[in-house]
Amino acid sequence: MRPHASVLHLDLDAFFAAVEQRDKPSLRGKPVIVGGIGPRGVVSTASYEARTFGVHSAMPMHEARRRCPHAAFLSGRFGAYRAASGIVMGLLRELSPLVEPLSLDEAFVDLAVGERSLEPGAVLAEVAALKLRLAEATGGLTASVGVGSSKFIAKVATELAKPDGVRLVAPGTEVEVIAPLPARAIPGIGPVTMEKLARLGVSNVADLQRLSPRELVRELGRAQGEWIAALAFARDDRPVEPDRETKSISVEDTFETDVTDRMALDAVVERDATGVARRLSAAGLFARTITLKARYPDFTTLTRSRTLDGATDAAETIAAVARVLLDTIDVPRGLRLLGVGVAGLTESAQEALFELAPVEPGERSPVERGATPAVNPSGPDQLNQGEVENRASAGVEFVEDSGLTHTGVPTMARRPAGYRPGDDVVHDEQGAGWVWGTGLGRVTVRFETAETGPGPVRTFAVDDPALRPAQG
C-alpha cells in the first residue's frame, strides 16, 4: 500500500446531462435525461434534478418517463461530450503523465510523480485549483474528486464527495472509512453475491471485515473470495495505467441494477456499437474481430468473439454481430455489465465474402421510421395539438451517436437523419438552436445557445430549406 494519498479519481457530475444544461439555458436547474428516448431505450445519464425522482443510468426509458414525465428527454450529442472530455483529460495530463481514462467522464491520475508535495494540504490545494480550472475551461462543468492510497479508496472517496465535492482519505484510516459502507460498495459484489453474503450475516463492509478469507472463498470461490477479502481491508495495489497504443476499441456499460430485459440490452448493444464505429472512423481504422463482453451479478465475466471475412467500420455490421453473440449469453440470469468491442484493426477495409442476415419479417429499417417530441410542453412553449397527441402515443427507439431516432408508429412521417431531440441546428434567419421535438413532418426548435438566455420556440416543416443541422 502507498504511504501517501497519491491516487486521484475524478468523475464529472452527471456529465452528459450537465453538458446539455450548459449548452441549453432553458434546461438549467430542470430534470434532463439523456439516452434512448423510447420504450426500448435505456437511460445513459440523468441530471441530479431527475435523480430526485428515482431516475438513474441503465433504467429502461419507459420507467424514467413514468417517474419523471416532465423531464427533457434528449438523445445525446457525442461531439459535444467528446470535446468537453478532451479538455478535462488535457487538464489531468498537466497534473501527471500517468492518467488512466475509464470513460469520457472518469479517470484515475497518479500524483506520485514529479516534485510535488504529497502532504494532504498540498494535494487538496492542487485539487481545488484543478476544479476551478476545469469549470472555467469547460463552461461551468463540475466534477467530484477523491484521493486515496489506492484506486479503490480513491473511487470510494469520489462517491463520498458527490456531487461537486472533494474527499481525501488519509493513509491509515481506509479500513475505518469503508467499514460503514454497504457491502455493495466493493467492486464485484452484485445482487447474487449479496444474497450469498447475506446468509453469512453480511450487510456492510464491517461485516465482511469480521469474516475470514477462508469463509469468503468457501462461499464465493477462490478468485472472487480473495478479491473481496482484500478490498474489505482496503488492500489494492493496482497501478494507474496510462494510455497505450490502440490494439482494440470497446465501449462498456456497467448497470446500477442488473438488467434482464433483452430489448433493453439490444438497445445498449446498438448504442455501444455506434460509439465503437465512430471511434474506428475517427482513427481511420477498420476491424476484423467483433467482441461482446458480459458480466453476471456474481462477477463472472464472459467474452464472445467473431472474426469476419472482411474488415468493417460500419455500426450496423458491428451491432448485428454483437446481437448474435448476445444470443449465447444467459440474459435471464441478469447482467451487471455489457460491452461491445473490436480488434484485429487495420487501415484498409476488405470486402466481406458473405452478407449479414436480412432484417426479420415485419421489422422495418430505421430510415422507415419517424420521431417524437423530446420535451413535454409546459407553459407558453406549447407544441401544436397534433404533436402533443403524438408525444403521448408514439414510442421511440434511440441508437446513441448514430443519428437515428425512430418509432414503430406507422403514421409517423419520415425526417432527415440528424434531426434528433437535443441536436444542434441553424436557421438562416433565427440563428443557432436545438431540436426541441419532431413529428408529423415538422421539427420544433428552441433558439438558444450556451451564451444566450433561454430562447424562443419555433416550429418548421421538416424539409424547410432555411433549417439545417449544425456542423461539427
* Rounded distance between C-alpha atoms, residue 241 and residue 425, angstroms: 39
To the query of whether residue 106 is one of the catalytic residues in this protein, the response is yes
Cβ(17)–Cβ(50) below 8 Å: yes
Catalytic residue among 100, 106, 387, 448: 106
Cβ(266)–Cβ(323) below 8 Å: yes
Cβ(132)–Cβ(32) below 8 Å: no
Q: Which amino acid is at 178?
A: I
Cβ(438)–Cβ(396) below 8 Å: no
Q: Which residues contact 244 (CB under 8 A, 6 or more apart)?
A: none
Can you tell me whether residue 27 is helix, strand or coil?
helix
Backbone angles phi, psi at 352, to 5 degrees: -70, 150
Can you tell me whether residue 5 is helix, strand or coil?
coil
Classify each residue of 315-325 as buried b or exposed e, where b means 16 or more C-beta atoms within 10 Å of its C-beta: bbbbbbbbbeb
Can you tell me whether residue 93 is helix, strand or coil?
helix
Cell of 45: 445519464
Cβ(146)–Cβ(8) below 8 Å: yes
Strand 424-427 and strand 396-399: the pairing is unpaired
Can you tell me whether residue 204 is helix, strand or coil?
strand
Query: Of 369, 361, 354, which is closest to residue 408 (Cα–Cα)?
Result: 369
Report the catalytic residues.
106
